Amino acid sequence: MINRRHALAALAAFSLALVGWGVSAQEEKAYSPAALDAAIKAGKPVLIDVTATWCPTCKAQAPILLELAQQPKFKDLVVFNIDFDSQKDALRSLKVQHQSTLIVVKGGAEVGRSVGDTNRASIEALLSRAL
Positions marked active-site: 55, 58
The C-alpha atoms of residue 102 and residue 113 are separated, in whole angstroms, by 6
Q: State the alpha helices, DSSP H only, in 4-130.
A: 4-18, 33-41, 56-69, 88-93, 120-128
101: which residues sit within 8 A by CB, 6+ positions away? 48, 49, 50, 113, 114, 115
CA dihedral for 30, 36, 37, 39, sign (positive or negative): positive
Q: How buried is 82 (Cβ within 10 angstroms: 0-12 exposed, 13-18 middle, 19+ buried)?
A: buried
